[in-house]
Protein backbone atom coordinates (compact mmCIF):
# COMPACT_ATOMS: atom_id res chain seq x y z
CA UNK A 1 0.00 0.00 0.00
CA UNK A 2 1.45 3.39 -1.04
CA UNK A 3 0.73 6.78 0.59
CA UNK A 4 1.29 10.33 -0.64
CA UNK A 5 3.09 12.78 1.64
CA UNK A 6 3.43 16.54 1.01
CA UNK A 7 7.08 17.61 1.13
CA UNK A 8 7.48 20.61 3.48
CA UNK A 9 10.32 22.12 1.38
CA UNK A 10 9.14 22.28 -2.23
CA UNK A 11 5.52 21.21 -1.98
CA UNK A 12 6.10 18.11 -4.11
CA UNK A 13 4.17 15.00 -3.23
CA UNK A 14 6.43 12.10 -2.37
CA UNK A 15 5.14 8.56 -2.68
CA UNK A 16 6.07 6.45 0.32
CA UNK A 17 5.95 2.72 -0.02
CA UNK A 18 3.72 1.17 2.64
CA UNK A 19 3.99 -2.22 4.25
CA UNK A 20 1.54 -5.07 4.38
CA UNK A 21 -0.05 -6.61 7.45
CA UNK A 22 2.23 -9.64 7.14
CA UNK A 23 5.36 -7.48 6.85
CA UNK A 24 4.39 -5.53 9.98
CA UNK A 25 3.63 -8.80 11.78
CA UNK A 26 7.04 -10.23 10.87
CA UNK A 27 8.77 -7.10 12.19
CA UNK A 28 6.93 -7.45 15.51
CA UNK A 29 7.70 -11.16 15.60
CA UNK A 30 11.43 -10.58 15.16
CA UNK A 31 11.42 -8.29 18.19
CA UNK A 32 10.04 -11.09 20.37
CA UNK A 33 13.23 -12.92 21.28
CA UNK A 34 11.51 -15.73 23.13
CA UNK A 35 9.27 -16.42 20.14
CA UNK A 36 12.22 -16.36 17.74
CA UNK A 37 14.08 -18.79 20.00
CA UNK A 38 11.02 -21.04 19.96
CA UNK A 39 10.94 -20.87 16.17
CA UNK A 40 14.61 -21.83 15.91
CA UNK A 41 14.08 -24.79 18.25
CA UNK A 42 11.02 -25.93 16.27
CA UNK A 43 12.94 -25.79 12.98
CA UNK A 44 15.86 -27.66 14.54
CA UNK A 45 13.64 -30.42 15.91
CA UNK A 46 11.74 -30.77 12.63
CA UNK A 47 15.02 -30.96 10.71
CA UNK A 48 16.43 -33.54 13.10
CA UNK A 49 13.37 -35.81 13.03
CA UNK A 50 12.39 -35.61 9.37
CA UNK A 51 15.76 -35.12 7.63
CA UNK A 52 18.62 -36.08 9.93
CA UNK A 53 16.90 -39.24 11.20
CA UNK A 54 16.19 -40.72 7.73
CA UNK A 55 19.71 -39.79 6.57
CA UNK A 56 21.25 -41.62 9.54
CA UNK A 57 18.99 -44.59 8.80
CA UNK A 58 20.19 -44.59 5.19
CA UNK A 59 23.78 -44.58 6.49
CA UNK A 60 23.15 -47.78 8.45
CA UNK A 61 22.04 -46.60 11.88
CA UNK A 62 18.98 -48.41 13.21
CA UNK A 63 16.34 -47.71 15.82
CA UNK A 64 15.23 -51.35 16.01
CA UNK A 65 18.48 -53.35 15.96
CA UNK A 66 19.01 -54.96 19.36
CA UNK A 67 22.33 -55.66 21.10
CA UNK A 68 21.75 -57.19 24.52
CA UNK A 69 25.48 -57.03 25.28
CA UNK A 70 25.30 -53.21 25.27
CA UNK A 71 22.22 -52.55 27.37
CA UNK A 72 22.01 -49.09 28.99
CA UNK A 73 25.25 -47.85 27.42
CA UNK A 74 26.22 -44.38 28.63
CA UNK A 75 25.66 -41.33 26.43
CA UNK A 76 28.61 -39.91 24.44
CA UNK A 77 30.08 -43.37 24.11
CA UNK A 78 30.99 -45.63 21.22
CA UNK A 79 27.44 -47.00 21.37
CA UNK A 80 25.78 -43.75 20.31
CA UNK A 81 25.36 -40.09 21.21
CA UNK A 82 22.53 -40.84 23.65
CA UNK A 83 23.66 -44.35 24.54
CA UNK A 84 21.34 -47.36 24.34
CA UNK A 85 18.08 -48.50 25.93
CA UNK A 86 17.07 -51.65 27.82
CA UNK A 87 17.41 -53.78 24.67
CA UNK A 88 20.63 -52.26 23.44
CA UNK A 89 18.95 -50.15 20.75
CA UNK A 90 20.42 -46.80 19.71
CA UNK A 91 18.56 -44.26 21.86
CA UNK A 92 19.34 -41.36 19.51
CA UNK A 93 17.70 -43.14 16.59
CA UNK A 94 14.74 -44.18 18.74
CA UNK A 95 14.21 -40.60 19.91
CA UNK A 96 14.42 -39.25 16.35
CA UNK A 97 12.03 -41.92 15.08
CA UNK A 98 9.67 -41.37 17.99
CA UNK A 99 9.74 -37.62 17.39
CA UNK A 100 8.94 -38.17 13.73
CA UNK A 101 5.89 -40.24 14.64
CA UNK A 102 4.66 -37.83 17.34
CA UNK A 103 5.12 -34.76 15.13
CA UNK A 104 3.59 -36.47 12.11
CA UNK A 105 0.46 -37.41 14.04
CA UNK A 106 0.17 -33.89 15.51
CA UNK A 107 0.71 -32.11 12.18
CA UNK A 108 -1.68 -34.34 10.23
CA UNK A 109 -4.33 -34.01 12.94
CA UNK A 110 -3.86 -30.22 12.96
CA UNK A 111 -4.33 -30.04 9.17
CA UNK A 112 -7.53 -32.06 9.46
CA UNK A 113 -8.69 -29.96 12.42
CA UNK A 114 -8.12 -26.67 10.62
CA UNK A 115 -9.78 -27.89 7.41
CA UNK A 116 -12.91 -29.26 9.07
CA UNK A 117 -13.14 -26.41 11.57
CA UNK A 118 -12.86 -23.71 8.89
CA UNK A 119 -15.51 -25.26 6.65
CA UNK A 120 -17.96 -26.14 9.42
CA UNK A 121 -17.48 -23.00 11.50
CA UNK A 122 -17.40 -20.75 8.44
CA UNK A 123 -20.70 -22.11 7.15
CA UNK A 124 -22.32 -21.87 10.61
CA UNK A 125 -21.15 -18.28 11.06
CA UNK A 126 -22.10 -17.16 7.55
CA UNK A 127 -25.54 -18.76 7.56
CA UNK A 128 -26.37 -17.76 11.12
CA UNK A 129 -29.95 -17.92 12.28
CA UNK A 130 -31.59 -21.10 13.50
CA UNK A 131 -29.50 -23.44 11.32
CA UNK A 132 -26.24 -21.87 12.50
CA UNK A 133 -27.34 -22.24 16.11
CA UNK A 134 -28.26 -25.89 15.58
CA UNK A 135 -24.84 -26.56 14.05
CA UNK A 136 -23.11 -25.03 17.07
CA UNK A 137 -25.32 -26.91 19.54
CA UNK A 138 -24.06 -30.10 17.91
CA UNK A 139 -20.51 -28.91 18.56
CA UNK A 140 -21.35 -28.10 22.18
CA UNK A 141 -22.82 -31.56 22.64
CA UNK A 142 -19.70 -33.25 21.27
CA UNK A 143 -17.47 -31.07 23.44
CA UNK A 144 -19.40 -32.25 26.48
CA UNK A 145 -18.37 -35.85 25.78
CA UNK A 146 -15.21 -37.11 27.54
CA UNK A 147 -12.12 -37.04 25.34
CA UNK A 148 -11.28 -40.72 25.86
CA UNK A 149 -14.76 -41.80 24.76
CA UNK A 150 -14.40 -39.90 21.47
CA UNK A 151 -10.94 -41.36 20.91
CA UNK A 152 -12.07 -44.94 21.53
CA UNK A 153 -15.15 -44.40 19.35
CA UNK A 154 -13.13 -43.10 16.40
CA UNK A 155 -10.52 -45.82 16.74
CA UNK A 156 -13.18 -48.53 16.68
CA UNK A 157 -14.94 -46.98 13.69
CA UNK A 158 -11.79 -46.46 11.63
CA UNK A 159 -9.43 -49.30 12.55
CA UNK A 160 -11.25 -51.97 10.52
CA UNK A 161 -11.34 -49.84 7.38
CA UNK A 162 -7.66 -48.92 7.76
CA UNK A 163 -6.69 -52.59 8.06
CA UNK A 164 -8.63 -53.40 4.88
CA UNK A 165 -6.94 -50.56 3.01
CA UNK A 166 -3.52 -51.68 4.25
CA UNK A 167 -4.11 -55.24 3.01
CA UNK A 168 -5.31 -53.87 -0.35
CA UNK A 169 -2.17 -51.75 -0.79
CA UNK A 170 0.07 -54.69 0.08
CA UNK A 171 -1.72 -57.40 -1.92
CA UNK A 172 -2.97 -55.47 -4.95
CA UNK A 173 -0.45 -52.69 -5.40
CA UNK A 174 2.62 -54.45 -4.01
CA UNK A 175 3.50 -51.76 -1.50
CA UNK A 176 6.15 -52.52 1.10
CA UNK A 177 4.64 -54.32 4.09
CA UNK A 178 6.88 -52.51 6.58
CA UNK A 179 6.02 -49.12 5.08
CA UNK A 180 2.26 -49.72 5.03
CA UNK A 181 2.15 -51.14 8.55
CA UNK A 182 4.31 -48.30 9.85
CA UNK A 183 2.05 -45.50 8.63
CA UNK A 184 -1.34 -47.23 8.69
CA UNK A 185 -0.81 -47.54 12.44
CA UNK A 186 -0.97 -43.75 12.68
CA UNK A 187 -4.27 -43.24 10.86
CA UNK A 188 -6.76 -44.28 13.60
CA UNK A 189 -5.01 -42.18 16.24
CA UNK A 190 -4.75 -39.18 13.90
CA UNK A 191 -8.46 -39.34 13.06
CA UNK A 192 -9.33 -39.81 16.72
CA UNK A 193 -7.42 -36.71 17.80
CA UNK A 194 -8.71 -34.63 14.88
CA UNK A 195 -12.25 -35.85 15.56
CA UNK A 196 -12.08 -34.06 18.89
CA UNK A 197 -9.80 -31.14 18.03
CA UNK A 198 -11.83 -29.58 15.22
CA UNK A 199 -14.67 -28.72 17.60
CA UNK A 200 -12.81 -25.84 19.24
CA UNK A 201 -11.59 -24.66 15.85
CA UNK A 202 -15.14 -24.64 14.58
CA UNK A 203 -16.28 -22.41 17.43
CA UNK A 204 -13.44 -19.94 16.85
CA UNK A 205 -14.10 -19.72 13.12
CA UNK A 206 -17.85 -19.43 13.63
CA UNK A 207 -17.41 -16.40 15.89
CA UNK A 208 -15.07 -14.68 13.43
CA UNK A 209 -17.27 -15.51 10.43
CA UNK A 210 -20.39 -14.19 12.15
CA UNK A 211 -18.59 -10.90 12.85
CA UNK A 212 -17.18 -10.55 9.33
CA UNK A 213 -20.56 -11.29 7.75
CA UNK A 214 -21.80 -7.93 9.06
CA UNK A 215 -18.92 -5.97 7.53
CA UNK A 216 -19.43 -3.59 4.61
CA UNK A 217 -17.23 -5.49 2.16
CA UNK A 218 -19.45 -8.56 2.56
CA UNK A 219 -22.56 -6.47 1.96
CA UNK A 220 -20.90 -5.03 -1.14
CA UNK A 221 -20.12 -8.53 -2.41
CA UNK A 222 -23.74 -9.53 -1.91
CA UNK A 223 -24.97 -6.44 -3.77
CA UNK A 224 -22.79 -7.45 -6.71
CA UNK A 225 -24.62 -10.76 -6.88
CA UNK A 226 -21.72 -13.00 -5.86
CA UNK A 227 -22.63 -16.52 -4.80
CA UNK A 228 -22.62 -17.51 -1.14
CA UNK A 229 -19.74 -19.94 -1.72
CA UNK A 230 -17.63 -17.23 -3.38
CA UNK A 231 -18.32 -14.74 -0.59
CA UNK A 232 -17.46 -17.32 2.07
CA UNK A 233 -14.29 -18.76 0.53
CA UNK A 234 -12.94 -15.67 -1.27
CA UNK A 235 -13.86 -12.85 1.10
CA UNK A 236 -14.65 -14.12 4.61
CA UNK A 237 -12.29 -17.05 5.19
CA UNK A 238 -9.11 -15.26 3.95
CA UNK A 239 -9.74 -12.52 6.52
CA UNK A 240 -9.62 -15.14 9.30
CA UNK A 241 -6.19 -16.41 8.28
CA UNK A 242 -4.39 -14.76 11.19
CA UNK A 243 -6.43 -16.38 13.99
CA UNK A 244 -6.35 -19.71 12.13
CA UNK A 245 -2.53 -19.67 11.92
CA UNK A 246 -2.26 -18.77 15.59
CA UNK A 247 -4.63 -21.53 16.66
CA UNK A 248 -2.93 -24.10 14.42
CA UNK A 249 0.48 -23.27 15.90
CA UNK A 250 -0.86 -23.67 19.43
CA UNK A 251 -2.79 -26.82 18.48
CA UNK A 252 0.28 -28.80 17.41
CA UNK A 253 1.80 -28.98 20.94
CA UNK A 254 -1.62 -29.87 22.36
CA UNK A 255 -1.92 -32.76 19.92
CA UNK A 256 1.63 -33.90 20.68
CA UNK A 257 0.59 -34.02 24.33
CA UNK A 258 -2.60 -35.91 23.43
CA UNK A 259 -0.62 -38.49 21.46
CA UNK A 260 1.91 -38.95 24.25
CA UNK A 261 -0.83 -39.33 26.85
CA UNK A 262 -2.77 -41.86 24.79
CA UNK A 263 0.39 -43.82 23.98
CA UNK A 264 1.38 -43.81 27.65
CA UNK A 265 -1.92 -45.43 28.67
CA UNK A 266 -1.89 -47.89 25.77
CA UNK A 267 -4.45 -46.24 23.44
CA UNK A 268 -1.98 -44.57 21.09
CA UNK A 269 0.90 -45.71 18.93
CA UNK A 270 1.33 -49.47 18.75
CA UNK A 271 4.41 -51.63 17.94
CA UNK A 272 6.41 -51.75 15.74
CA UNK A 273 6.16 -47.95 15.85
CA UNK A 274 7.39 -45.88 18.76
CA UNK A 275 6.68 -42.30 19.76
CA UNK A 276 7.85 -39.97 22.48
CA UNK A 277 4.89 -41.18 24.56
CA UNK A 278 5.89 -44.84 24.27
CA UNK A 279 9.55 -44.01 24.94
CA UNK A 280 8.59 -42.13 28.10
CA UNK A 281 6.39 -45.05 29.15
CA UNK A 282 9.26 -47.52 28.66
CA UNK A 283 11.73 -45.22 30.41
CA UNK A 284 9.45 -44.83 33.43
CA UNK A 285 9.99 -48.52 34.19
CA UNK A 286 13.70 -47.80 34.80
CA UNK A 287 13.34 -44.48 36.60
CA UNK A 288 15.22 -45.56 39.71
CA UNK A 289 18.09 -47.34 37.94
CA UNK A 290 18.61 -45.88 34.44
CA UNK A 291 17.28 -42.33 34.36
CA UNK A 292 18.82 -41.56 30.95
CA UNK A 293 16.31 -43.75 29.14
CA UNK A 294 13.50 -41.61 30.55
CA UNK A 295 15.25 -38.25 30.78
CA UNK A 296 16.31 -37.85 27.12
CA UNK A 297 12.91 -38.37 25.45
CA UNK A 298 11.17 -36.46 28.25
CA UNK A 299 13.46 -33.43 27.82
CA UNK A 300 13.03 -33.36 24.04
CA UNK A 301 9.29 -33.80 24.43
CA UNK A 302 9.04 -30.91 26.90
CA UNK A 303 11.36 -28.71 24.84
CA UNK A 304 9.18 -29.21 21.77
CA UNK A 305 6.02 -28.28 23.66
CA UNK A 306 7.61 -25.12 25.08
CA UNK A 307 9.04 -24.11 21.69
CA UNK A 308 5.71 -24.44 19.87
CA UNK A 309 3.91 -22.53 22.62
CA UNK A 310 6.49 -19.72 22.59
CA UNK A 311 6.19 -19.49 18.80
CA UNK A 312 2.40 -19.52 18.97
CA UNK A 313 2.34 -16.77 21.60
CA UNK A 314 4.67 -14.67 19.46
CA UNK A 315 2.50 -15.14 16.37
CA UNK A 316 -0.57 -14.19 18.38
CA UNK A 317 1.05 -10.91 19.45
CA UNK A 318 2.48 -10.22 15.99
CA UNK A 319 -0.77 -10.81 14.12
CA UNK A 320 -2.87 -8.80 16.57
CA UNK A 321 -4.45 -6.11 14.36
CA UNK A 322 -4.67 -3.76 17.36
CA UNK A 323 -0.92 -3.84 17.94
CA UNK A 324 0.70 -0.49 17.39
CA UNK A 325 2.96 -0.03 14.40
CA UNK A 326 6.48 0.91 15.46
Distance of CA 64 to the CA centre of its chain: 27
What does the pLDDT read at residue 283?
A: 87
Inter-residue contact 70 to 34 (CB < 8 Å): no
* Whole-angstrom distance, CA of residue 188 vs CA of residue 180: 14
Inter-residue contact 138 to 216 (CB < 8 Å): no
pLDDT tens digits for 272-324?
678 898 889 888 888 888 888 889 999 999 999 999 999 888 888 777 655 44
Domain boundaries, the chain: 24-318
- SS3 assignment, position 59: coil
Identify which of 93, 159, 7 has the alpha carbon closest to the alpha carbon of residue 296: 93
As a whole number, mean pLDDT of residues 125-150 equals 85
Share of the chain above pLDDT 90, in %: 17
What does the pLDDT read at residue 323?
A: 45
What does the pLDDT read at residue 9?
A: 53
Inter-residue contact 273 to 182 (CB < 8 Å): yes
| Phi, psi for residue 229 in degrees, rounded to 5 | -65, -40
pTM (predicted TM-score):
0.82
pLDDT tens digits for 59-94?
888 888 888 888 888 887 766 788 888 888 888 899
* Whole-angstrom distance, CA of residue 34 vs CA of residue 40: 10
* Whole-angstrom distance, CA of residue 9 vs CA of residue 182: 71
pLDDT tens digits for 106-123?
999 999 999 999 889 888
Residue of 322 and 222 predicted with greater confidence: 222
We find that the CATH architecture of domain 24-318 is Orthogonal Bundle (1.10)
Distant-in-sequence, close-in-space partners of 326: CB < 8 Å, separation ≥ 6:
27, 28, 31
Amino acid sequence: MNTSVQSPQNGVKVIEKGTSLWADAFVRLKKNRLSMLGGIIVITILFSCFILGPVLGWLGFSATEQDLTNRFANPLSDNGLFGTDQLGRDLLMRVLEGGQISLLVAIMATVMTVTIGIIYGGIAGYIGGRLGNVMMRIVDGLLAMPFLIIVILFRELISGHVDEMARFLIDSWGWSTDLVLRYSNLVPLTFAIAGFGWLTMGRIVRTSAASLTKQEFVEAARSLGLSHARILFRHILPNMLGPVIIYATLTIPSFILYEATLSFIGLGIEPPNSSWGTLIKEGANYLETETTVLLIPAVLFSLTLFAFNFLGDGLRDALDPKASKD
